[in-house]
């Protein structure tokens, strides 16, 4: 099977590598020449554990190729996966410019029948619109569009691709669905076949539901703080109920990343477009916006004002094991701290380069944790990297001017913190003073 993947971001590159790994011949196309040149040398444009080893193995086995020449690749393809970005428009709706460009390029290039599989997250109705465009722009060939939404998480993308809970295939044409099912069969993951619109909706509903779980537990955490309960205990006790499930009950400073924020807004917009006011989802979004500012509130309450205070930010990416800064809580927090004229010293094990491009220019970067903490009035933990979770707590005491920690990810057990002269404010747990 000759497979082409369009777009080599988190989804496209991982999809391409994984499909090559199970034996398909895969060509990954991207418009970004520099990215393609680097990938040809085995360098991944994204930080993702294990990806470069997989790239290397499959390139050496002559199963994985990278090119900017989409037209030639599409001409040879049996199946084309579209994995271009679908970022958000200013009004919250999904921006389908890249999808549109990819469809037009494919339509003008293909000369034989082909199946086009949409991996990008797209609003309900988009795949049918793509099908309509193909019929109009490439009437000389048969192009079947199949929806195959992606559920991988950044930081564990390869693992998720090989161990996912389900592969969703939405198709109008049984033959096309069967071809896509066969391509994915080597992964040994349950395949759920459905119609195209339901497949599109499954993706948005899944992300919105997970975001809802996070905002729900964060609200419970906020109440816990005021009634003297402990969110870690509450989440553990709730999670034992199989109907609730223990995952996605980690309270913190809210969800970020390239998908939950944009997909929740896009779903609210999809609902609004058909005159449905999705009140629950709008509240989930609002709760998250507030939650991202929780540590600032706590710091202001503790210090009165934070002007001139030296604050160490530990962790900048939206979650551990990725360098992705999209919609990271650190953006909101760093901007606000700088606006309040605090001195911000930041450290992240992986995301520092990407952070430099998006955080305010006033932010100072430290090359290790100790340097960030040196003489700081307070530390704010924004991402639960193992490096912070495993940090000897005495480091805070030794390095900081005043060892005051605002932990947005509940990295430490209260019992452990109590052994040190540390003032500790976390989420949904009592403060240690």
Ligand X SMILES: O=C(O)[C@H]1O[C@H](OP(=O)(O)OP(=O)(O)OC[C@H]2O[C@@H](n3ccc(=O)[nH]c3=O)[C@H](O)[C@@H]2O)[C@H](O)[C@@H](O)[C@@H]1O
Residue number, 85 or 428, with CB nearest to ligand NAI: 85
260 belongs to the binding site for ligand X (CB under 6 A) = yes
Biggest CA pair distance of the chain: 75
Member of 115, 145, 152, 295 binding ligand X (CB under 6 A): 152
Query: Rounded to the nearest whole angstrom, what is the least distance from the CB of residue 329 to ligand X in the complex?
Result: 7
Member of 24, 63, 250, 265 binding ligand X (CB under 6 A): 250
Are 309 and 340 a contacting pair, CB within 8 Å? no
Sheet holding 167-171, edge to edge: 64-67, 25-29, 2-6, 79-82, 114-118, 143-147, 167-171, 191-194
Q: With CB under 6 A as the contact rule, which of the stretches 80-88, 149-157, 185-193, 303-311 interacts with ligand X?
A: 149-157
Q: Is 249 annotated as a binding residue?
A: yes
Q: Is 309 annotated as a binding residue?
A: no
Q: Is 9 annotated as a binding residue?
A: no
Q: With CB under 6 A as the contact rule, which of the stretches 99-107, 270-278, 337-345, 374-382 interacts with ligand NAI?
A: 99-107
Q: With CB under 6 A as the contact rule, which of the stretches 30-38, 165-173, 298-306, 401-409 interacts with ligand NAI?
A: 30-38
Are 312 and 292 a contacting pair, CB within 8 Å? no
Member of 3, 4, 5, 9 binding ligand NAI (CB under 6 A): 9
Query: Rounded to the nearest whole angstrom, what is the least distance from the CB of residue 262 to ligand NAI in the complex?
Result: 7
For residue 113, give the 3-state DSSP assignment: coil
Question: Measured at the alpha carbon of residue 130, what is the angle toward residues 128 and 132, in degrees to the nearest 5?
Answer: 70
What is the distance between the alpha carbons of residues 42 and 45, in angstroms, rounded to a whole number? 10
Number of H helices, E strands in the chain: 19, 14
Residue 255 contact, options ligand X, ligand NAI, none, Cβ 5-8 Å cut-off depending on partner type: ligand X
199 belongs to the binding site for ligand NAI (CB under 6 A) = no
Q: Is 319 annotated as a binding residue?
A: yes
Query: Rounded to the nearest whole angstrom, what is the least distance from the CB of residue 160 to ligand X in the complex?
Result: 7
What is the distance between the alpha carbons of residues 307 and 342, in angstroms, rounded to a whole number? 5
Residue 423 contact, options ligand X, ligand NAI, none, Cβ 5-8 Å cut-off depending on partner type: none
Q: Is 232 annotated as a binding residue?
A: no
String of b and e for 229-239 (b: at least 16 CB within 10 Å)?
bbbbebbeebe
Member of 67, 101, 156, 193 binding ligand NAI (CB under 6 A): 101
Residue 179 half-sphere exposure toward CB, CA atoms < 13 A? 21
Which residues are catalytically annotated? Answer: 259
153 belongs to the binding site for ligand X (CB under 6 A) = yes
CB within 8 Å of 322: residues ≥ 6 apart: 46, 47, 48, 154, 155, 350, 351
Residue 120 contact, options ligand NAI, ligand X, none, Cβ 5-8 Å cut-off depending on partner type: ligand NAI
Residue number, 118 or 258, with CB nearest to ligand X: 258
148 belongs to the binding site for ligand NAI (CB under 6 A) = no
Terminal alpha carbon distance of the chain:
63
Residue 4 contact, options ligand X, ligand NAI, none, Cβ 5-8 Å cut-off depending on partner type: none
Query: Rounded to the nearest whole angstrom, what is the least distance from the CB of residue 211 to ligand X in the complex?
Result: 8
Of 2, 194, 256, 12, the closest CA to residue 121 belongs to 12
Query: Rounded to the nearest whole angstrom, what is the least distance from the CB of residue 401 to ligand X in the complex?
Result: 29
Strand partners of residue 378 = 311
Q: Residues in the site for ligand NAI, rule: CB under 6 A? A: 6-12, 29-32, 35, 70, 83-86, 98, 101-102, 105, 119-121, 150, 152, 154, 258-259
């Amino acid at each position: 099977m000759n497979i082409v993947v369009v777009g080599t971001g988190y989804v496209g590159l991982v999809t391409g590598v994984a499909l090559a790994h199970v034996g398909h011949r895969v060509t990954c196309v991207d418009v970004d020449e520099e990215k393609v040149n680097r990938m040809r040398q085995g360098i991944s444009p994204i930080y993702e554990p294990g990806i470069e080893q997989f790239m290397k193995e499959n390139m050496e086995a002559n199963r994985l190729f990278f090119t900017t020449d989409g037209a030639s690749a599409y001409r040879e393809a049996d199946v084309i996966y579209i994995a271009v970005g679908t970022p958000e428009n200013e009004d919250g709706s999904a921006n389908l410019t890249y999808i549109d460009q990819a469809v037009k390029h494919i339509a003008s290039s293909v000369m034989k029948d082909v199946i086009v599989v949409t991996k990008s997250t797209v609003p309900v109705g988009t795949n049918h619109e793509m099908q309509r465009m193909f019929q109009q722009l490439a009437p000389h060939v048969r192009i079947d569009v199949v929806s195959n939404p992606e559920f991988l998480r950044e930081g564990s993308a390869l693992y998720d691709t090989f161990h996912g809970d389900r592969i969703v295939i939405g198709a109008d044409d049984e033959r096309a669905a069967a071809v896509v099912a066969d391509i994915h069969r080597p992964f040994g993951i349950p395949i759920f076949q459905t119609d195209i619109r339901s497949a599109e909706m499954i993706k948005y509903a899944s992300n919105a539901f997970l975001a809802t779980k996070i905002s729900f537990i964060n609200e419970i955490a906020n109440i816990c703080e005021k009634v003297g309960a402990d969110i870690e205990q509450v989440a553990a006790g709730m999670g034992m109920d199989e109907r609730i499930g223990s995952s996605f009950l980690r309270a913190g400073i809210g969800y970020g990343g390239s998908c939950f924020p944009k997909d929740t807004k896009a779903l609210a917009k999809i609902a609004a477009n058909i005159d449905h006011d999705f009140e629950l989802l709008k509240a989930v979004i609002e709760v998250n916006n507030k939650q991202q500012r929780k540590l600032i509130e706590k710091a202001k309450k503790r210090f009165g004002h934070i002007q001139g205070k030296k604050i160490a930010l530990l962790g900048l990416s939206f979650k551990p094991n990725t360098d992705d800064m999209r919609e990271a809580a650190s953006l909101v927090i760093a901007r606000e701290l700088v606006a309040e004229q605090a001195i911000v010293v930041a450290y992240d094990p992986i995301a520092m380069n990407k952070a430099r491009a998006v955080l305010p220019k006033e932010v100072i970067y430290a090359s290790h944790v100790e340097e960030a903490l040196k003489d700081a009035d307070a530390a704010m933990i924004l991402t639960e990297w193992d490096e912070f979770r495993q940090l000897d707590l005495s480091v805070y005491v030794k390095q900081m001017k005043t060892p005051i920690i605002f932990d947005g990810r509940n990295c430490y057990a209260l019992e452990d913190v109590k052994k040190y002269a540390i003032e500790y404010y976390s989420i949904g747990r009592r403060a240690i003073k």
